[in-house]
Chain A
Amino acid sequence: MLAYIAKRLLATIPVMALVAVFVFALLRLTPGDPAAIIAGSAATTQDVAAIRVKLGLDQPLVAQFLVWLGNMARGDFGESFFFKKTVASLVADRIEPTLMLSLTTMTLSIAIAVPLGVLAAYRQGTWIDRIVMGFSVLGFSVPVFVIGYLLIYVFAIELNWLPVQGYQSLRDGVAGCLLRLVLPSLTLSVIYVALIARITRTSVLEVLGEDYIRTARAKGLAERVVLTRHALRNAAVPIVTVIGIGVALLIGGVVVTESVFSIPGLGRLTVDAVLARDYPTVQAVILLFSFAYVLVNLLVDVSYTALDPRIGY
């Protein structure tokens, strides 16, 4: 197992290298010039050219790439073109809100979706099943920002139960932090509840027809035990796979939610950096997201061995 994990981690190196080349090239090929943005409206051509030299943008692309790669190998992600802060410190400032939002969203989603999916499968064809599936379709169809605005309107403005926006760091109080995450997490979790519930229902339905389920019931086990210890356990592999895919989708969803709820996370940092053509920041954040996704995939693969003893590496 350890050898497998080590092999997978080593395999991330070429993956990350490809991502690095891709994101570097894509940024340089898209229209836009950070030097012109920095220089401002009244700048002359000479002003813009001087800034390009300062930022190293006058160098050949290959040279720029190699410098960046070399710096990264030393753990130096460079300095933001705009913020006069190191990219590492910018990312460090923003990582907690995104992590907290992602964690609370996935926890909420799994806690709601898995039982709903199991219930829908168990009560297949009944009104419970129809409601769960109907909600699932709605969850896929309604855009995240519409859900966000609706929740803000009801719970923050009309009822005044929850704050409209903002993030409080864990350091400044767990309760305050979680309170501000309620609406954004609910907003973001709608689509994941829809996705996970649907997959859970399908997987559990497949398993419920198996012989060992009939045997478990024949042994006199309580239905709750049959559903959780036997059905759900055996249906877990595809569910965990989808949860892993959900993490990738989360990265995109987080951007919109962070904007709607004014949460200063990595998603917003990425959008701001892209719009400002802040190359070092965009490059670093994309690499970070890619690495996170590769790690999540590895965790999902490793979890299979815990869920299904027949799987081994």
Chain B
Amino acid sequence: MLSRYRYLAAACLAVALCVPALAQTTLRVVKHSDLKIVDPIWTTAYITRDHGYMIYDTLFATDGGGQVKPQMIDKYELSPDKLTWTMTLRDGLLWHDGTPVTAEDCVASIRRWGAKDAMGQKMMSFVKDMPVVDARTFRILLSAPTGLVLTALGKPSSNVPFMMPKRVAATDPNTQISDYTGSGPFVFKTDEWKPGDKAVYVKFDKYKPRAEPSSGLAGGKVAKVDRVEWRVFADQQTAVNALVAGEIDFIEQPSHDLLPILRKDPNIKLVDWNPLGNQYAFRFNATAKPFDNAKIRQAVVYALNQEDFLQAVIGDKQYYKPCKALFVCGTPLASDKGMDGLIESNFAKSQALLKEAGYDGTPIVLLHSTDLQVLTNLAPVAKQLLEKGGFKVDMQSMDWQSVVARRAKKDPPTQGGWHAMLTSWVSADILNPVSTAFLNASCDKAPFGWPCDAEMEKLRDDFARETDPAKQKAIAEAVQVRWTQYPTHVHLGQWYQPGAARKNIDGVVVAPASVFWNISKTGK
């Protein structure tokens, strides 16, 4: 008997020695920022949005072709009167604690998101009720037809309508959640989260991906690594050195001046994971004289041009594109309508408009942020172009957080307020008139800058109500034409920032947010 057990033990040992130990694969990533806030409904910060994509799932998602596709949803239909959506969840969806995802969870999650997100608020203004039909089915009852439902529920960027358990979604939208249970392909390891150092995610073994291949933020979300570590690097050069040395696997957004080093390394490849890129914007404070005068804002539109800004910051033509379309070149609503002659630095026209408008020489207080590499050079270019266009400019330099604080103030520009500032949007946030925050012209309810134009708001409302894509496009063009008459901001071109990965990394998803399903890692 004893000898039989000895043989068995020896056999097991032999097998164990022959079969190589299954090592855990860890993907080590340097993100663009440190993960501080972990509630993607409470904040619009992109790092938190990306965190959301790791651990949560969405009812719908935008695929690689820009189309909204079902994700957690199995079946959905709209009633003939366009007032009732019926949505049924896929079978077998589980939360990270093993409990099933239910329709009640989804309804609660939509309500929480709809209370915070601008597009969600617009969608919810059409919603009468959301009754639960059974464990996996719910309805959205509308007071009027709207084309917003799928667009909003499948929106790719902040705030993304992530689904959470009902108990979590019941949290006041103005209070951060403290329970990070999701149903996404990864689980957040709160015990290993060290803000300022790293955030850790592990594969959720019970995640049920869709059968289709991954496409954009839609399709099958198959986690091909066991563990993902988001590392924080205060210094870009250190991150690049670590990538070269093989200590990390992927840098999400290396700065443009380091791309030549990365391109030369035989073990590294550049990955254009966000081909839609970003868009620079010059924002007016429409409440501060002289920018309360639309004609003077039009003068700015004539004084500026896109190429100068893009050259000054990005430099390499490979990574930028002038684009006059308000709604991002290469997307369904992009159009050049009404843009002839605009944003081409026609200084004579700018000066003529200033004279017509009675510009009295008030210096434009232009906020200049000094510590973000992708923004630093914008204000000096703006100053030069505005001065050539006939403006007097008082450029005030400060760190980005000071800019953020100051732009929230409505004080007179000479007493701590501002006239203008420059920033950048991820293109996924500005694909249509409703989601583009800078087109919100609802006066005090608009984001900083506070433009106030009833006609713009009517057009945005028309867009929200329209269900026909061709008519939506016509409305988007009308918004653009209205913008030329009532500029709320000036779009200054598109720019791109590829990621850098070790060559043993495959399957990086091309999407407006950097996500880590579908990515595999082989060897070192």
Residues of A with Cβ closer than 8 Å to B?
31-33, 35-46, 48, 50, 54, 80, 82-85, 90, 93-94, 149, 152-153, 156-157, 160, 163-166, 258-262, 264, 268-269, 271-272, 275-277
Contacts and interface: CB of A to CB of B under 8 A. Distances in A.
A187 to B, nearest CB: 12
A262 B195 contact: no
21 contacts: A31-B402, A31-B406, A32-B399, A33-B404, A36-B404, A36-B405, A40-B44, A42-B44, A42-B437, A42-B447, A44-B446, A82-B36, A83-B37, A83-B195, A94-B197, A153-B241, A157-B245, A260-B237, A260-B238, A264-B197, A272-B234
B241 A157 contact: yes
A36 B445 CA distance: 15
Nearest to B247: A164
B234 to A, nearest CB: 4
Contacts of B404: 32-33, 36-37
A191 to B, nearest CB: 19
A165 B247 contact: yes
Nearest to B371: A275
Interface string B32-48: 00101110000111000
Contacts of A36: 404-405, 407-408
A41 B37 contact: no
Nearest to B116: A47
| A interface SS class | helix
B410 interface: yes
A261 B238 contact: yes
Given A157-B244, A260-B235, A41 B408 contact: no
B61 interface: no
A269 B195 CA distance: 9
Interface in B219-252: 231-235, 237-239, 241-242, 244-245, 247
Contacts of A260: 235, 237-238
A160 B178 CA distance: 42
Nearest to B233: A262
Nearest to A85: B195
Interface of B: 34, 36-38, 43-45, 118, 158, 174, 176, 178, 194-198, 231-235, 237-239, 241-242, 244-245, 247, 371, 398-399, 401-402, 404-408, 410, 423, 425, 437, 444-448, 450
B178 to A, nearest CB: 7
A152 B247 contact: no
Nearest to A276: B401
A264 B193 CA distance: 12
A42 B118 contact: yes
B174 A259 contact: no
A232 to B, nearest CB: 39
Contact of A259 (B45, B231, B234): B234
B238 A262 contact: yes
A175 B159 CA distance: 45
Given A31-B405, A33-B408, 12 more contacts: A41-B44, A41-B437, A41-B447, A82-B37, A84-B176, A152-B241, A156-B241, A164-B242, A165-B247, A260-B237, A272-B34, A275-B371
Nearest to A93: B194
Given A32-B402, A36-B408, A165 B233 contact: yes
Contact of A156 (B34, B196, B245, B445): B245
A222 B404 CA distance: 68
A260 to B, nearest CB: 6
A151 to B, nearest CB: 11
A32 B196 contact: no
B156 to A, nearest CB: 15
A32 B174 contact: no
Contacts of B233: 165, 262
A43 B280 CA distance: 18
Contacts of B448: 41, 43, 45
A116 B432 CA distance: 69
A32 B408 contact: no
A217 to B, nearest CB: 52
Nearest to A33: B405
B245 A90 contact: no
Nearest to A43: B447
Contacts of B195: 80, 82-83, 85, 90, 93
B234 A271 contact: yes
Contacts of A268: 196, 234
B423 A41 contact: yes
A36 B408 CA distance: 7
Contacts of A39: 408
A80 B35 CA distance: 13
B245 A164 contact: yes
B238 A264 contact: no
A146 to B, nearest CB: 11
A165 B246 CA distance: 11
Contact of A262 (B231, B371, B398, B410): B231
Given A44-B444, A48-B408, A163-B247, A84 B37 contact: yes
B29 to A, nearest CB: 13
A36 B195 CA distance: 20
